[in-house]
Structure 1
């Protein structure tokens, strides 16, 4: 499953919490997605998945959401894109 990251950002809010996002497309899926990340200390991450623009297939969305719960490598790839954007100052 090929992932193409089109946009990523990470920042710290006024309380020092990490808040970030990654916009990406997934091979075989009809619409781009956006995943937002939140962590108090940068260790345990909460996330929210949504369509990045116009809604696509609900079936594909639910499939991806389930995959993110199971596939640490995919989740980490998307999180790392956001963290790398913070490190590089591109956000």
Structure 2
């Protein structure tokens, strides 16, 4: 799978830690996705994946979920985009 980041944001606060969002498209999928990233310390990340606006197919989102779980490079690309947004 290939992903293309379309936008990213990240904020940090003492009480909530790091909270970021990345909007991205996956080659061959009909709808864009948004992943929400959260970490208390910036080391161990939780995430939630959903369609950005219009729901796509369950098969597509499950495939992306499995891909992000299995491919550290893909997850790291999304995390990097959010971290870069924090530095701006």
TM range (shorter): over 0.9
1:16 Cα deviation from its structure 2 partner: 5.3
| Aligned-residue CA RMSD (Å) | 1.0
The gaps in structure 2 that reach 5 residues or longer are none
1:18 aligns to what? 18
9-18 or 22-31: bigger deviation: 9-18
Runs of 4+ with deviation above 4 angstroms: none
1:57 Cα deviation from its structure 2 partner: 1.1
Q: TM-score of the superposition, structure 1-length normalised? A: 0.92
1:15 Cα deviation from its structure 2 partner: 1.4
2:52 aligns to what? 52
The gaps in structure 1 that reach 5 residues or longer are none
5-14 or 73-82: bigger deviation: 5-14
